[in-house]
Each structure stands twice: as structure tokens, then as C-alpha cells.
């Protein structure tokens, strides 16, 4: 259903407000460069700093601008199940192809709570769901056995796996079946993830170098592992540099270097990356041959 290089889109802010004009151009550029789907209002999009109305507006703009050329997987997660459902219904009404739903953060539900959360969402909205597992942010981890139970629900179609445990791909194949859509949530681990049965990556790096990330994904999908390794070596310093300070600070800095007129704004509590982080990004861009 979903595969390839899928950027977790940054949200440009100018003067504190969503820069819709620039974002629309950014969506067009991503598609032209080969991105196979788009994720607005994920973590990289600073969704946690948006009002519900603003969040839903950004999703609508992304869908409008994509014009059906690629699927749009709308960020819809919340630690409040009812709010997550509101986001899903708004995304579905706007024409989204799926919802990316992060595990409830802060509340720290147990495995039964995770089952209940996702079952409630699936029972009350037919929009396909991609579960987003990122324990470093949520302090909650969905186990393969729990995911296997959710995979039996027709509208729960995949996972964005940022657990940092590459072996989960095989464990999840055992529990969910080979057709369950497994997308990497860690750019630096995606080569191994793909070799073990993954089908793509919801990527931070693809914001900055979408063409190279799309080439990497095509090489993996076609089994051209030597080509994929060459691209991994080219991209790896940037994968690391984009997390050398709190994300999405480094990726927004990188875009000020590589994308015309990209604004240098983050929303509190996020702040501009350190000088050391910016230097790491500069070096990584030079290594990739783009700056």
C-alpha cells in the first residue's frame, strides 16, 4: 500500500505563522524529486506545537497540493484517544489516504491500553492506520505480539517502526504476516530494515535530499544492494547530523542551506541548533556533494 521514500514533512513557519505558500512549493518539489508519499504533521512537522485547527489546516493544504499524485499519510496521533479520532476524521474528510498514529505519549498505557486505543480508533473511523512506534519519545513500546493482534483489524495496515530494534522487522513479520506494511522510522537503520523485509522509510533526511533518498529506496526495492550501500555511505553523515541536536532544528537548518528562502524558525520549546550541530550538518551536506 505504501512504500519507498516518504518524507515526514517539516512545517515552515514565518513570523510565527504557517508559511502556506512555501509549503505548497515544498510539496511540489518533494513529488518532483521522487518522494512516494508525504506525511504532514508528524513529529518533524512540530505537530505538538499546533492547535487542532492549525494542524488540520496543514494536513488539508498538503492534500490539496499533492492533488492525488502521491498518497498523503496524515499525522493524527495524540495521547488523548478522542483527539486522535478528531484528527483522523478531519484527515479523512480532507481526502487523506491514511493516518499515522503515534502511541499515546506521557500517559504510558500498558499493552492492553494500546490495544484499546487503536481498536477504538479503528472502530470509529475507517481511515487506514499506520501505527507509529517511537519509544524514545513516547516512553511506550508496542510489542510484536500486540501489533499482531492489531494487524487482524482490516484498517490497521502498517507500522512506522522507530524502535531502534532492527530485529523487530522479522518478529513483526512473524506476528503480522509478510504483507503488513513495515516502514522504517530511522534513516540510519533503513538499509538493514529493508533487507529484513521493510518496504520504505518515513524519513527526516528526505526533507533535505529527496532525490537521493528516493534513489536509495529504489535500489533496495530492486535488490541492488551494492548500489544501496553506496548511497547509504553518501547519506549516512547527514542521517546522523540531523539528530545532532533536538529535531527538527538540524533539518530546518539544513533546509536554509539547500532550499530557497526556507525560514529559520522553530516553535518553542524547540530552539535553533547549536553551532556544533550546524557544523555537523554543513560537513554532511558537503560529504553528500550538495553544499
Burial of 86 from C-beta contacts in 10 A (0-12 / 13-18 / 19+) = middle
At 67, list the grid cell. 492533488
CB count within 10 Å of CB 270 equals 17
Q: Would residue 160 show up in a list of annotated catalytic residues for this protein?
A: yes
Query: Which of 67, 106, 132, 252 is an active site residue?
Result: 132
**Nearest Cα to 170, choosing from 191, 196, 189?**
196
CB count within 10 Å of CB 16 equals 7
CB count within 10 Å of CB 89 equals 16
Q: Would residue 132 show up in a list of annotated catalytic residues for this protein?
A: yes
Q: If you search the block for the grid coordinates 516518504, which residue do you land on?
A: 6
Alpha-carbon gap, residue 129 to 89, rounded angstroms: 12
Query: Which of 106, 120, 160, 259 is an active site residue?
Result: 160
**Nearest Cα to 113, choosing from 80, 86, 90?**
80
Query: Helix, strand, or coil here: 192?
Result: helix
Burial of 73 from C-beta contacts in 10 A (0-12 / 13-18 / 19+) = buried
DSSP code string of 35-66: ---BB-SSTTTTGGGS-HHHHHHHHHHHHHHH
Alpha-carbon dihedral sign for residues 34, 35, 37, 38: negative
What amino acid positions are annotated as catalytic residues? 132, 160
Amino acid at each position: 500500500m505504501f512504500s519507498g521514500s516518504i518524507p515526514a514533512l517539516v512545517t515552515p513557519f514565518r513570523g510565527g505563522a504557517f508559511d502556506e505558500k512555501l509549503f505548497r512549493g515544498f510539496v511540489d518539489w518533494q513529488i518532483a524529486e521522487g518522494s512516494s508519499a508525504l506525511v504532514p504533521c508528524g513529529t518533524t512537522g512540530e505537530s505538538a506545537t499546533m492547535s487542532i485547527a492549525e494542524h488540520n489546516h496543514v494536513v488539508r493544504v498538503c492534500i490539496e497540493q499533492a492533488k492525488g499524485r502521491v498518497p498523503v499519510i496524515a499525522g493524527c496521533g495524540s495521547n488523548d484517544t478522542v483527539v486522535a479520532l478528531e484528527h483522523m476524521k478531519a484527515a479523512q474528510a480532507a481526502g487523506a489516504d491514511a493516518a499515522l498514529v503515534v502511541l499515546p505519549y506521557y500517559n504510558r498505557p500498558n499493552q492492553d491500553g494500546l490495544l484499546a486505543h487503536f481498536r477504538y480508533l479503528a472502530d470509529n473511523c475507517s481511515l487506514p492506520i499506520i501505527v507509529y512506534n517511537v519509544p524514545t519519545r513516547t516512553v511506550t513500546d508496542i510489542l510484536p505480539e500486540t501489533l499482531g493482534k492489531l494487524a487482524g483489524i482490516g484498517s490497521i495496515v502498517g507500522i512506522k517502526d522507530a524502535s531502534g530494534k532492527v530485529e523487530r522487522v522479522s518478529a513483526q513479520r512473524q506476528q503480522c504476516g509478510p504483507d503488513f506494511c513495515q516502514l522504517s522510522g530511522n534513516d540510519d537503520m533503513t538499509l538493514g530494515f529493508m533487507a529484513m523485509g521493510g518496504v520504505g522509510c518515513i524519513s527526516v533526511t528526505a526533507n533535505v535530499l529527496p532525490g537521493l533518498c528516493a534513489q536509495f529506496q529504489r535500489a533496495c526495492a530492486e535488490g541492488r544492494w551494492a548500489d544501496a550501500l553506496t548511497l547509504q555511505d553518501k547519506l549516512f553523515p547527514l542521517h546522523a547530523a540531523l539528530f545532532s541536536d533536538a529535531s527538527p532544528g538540524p533539518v530546518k537548518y539544513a533546509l536554509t542551506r539547500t532550499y530557497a528562502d526556507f525560514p529559520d524558525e522553530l516553535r518553542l520549546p524547540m530552539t535553533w541548533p547549536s553551532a556544533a550541530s550546524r557544523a555537523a550538518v554543513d560537513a554532511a551536506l558537503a560529504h553528500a556533494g550538495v553544499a
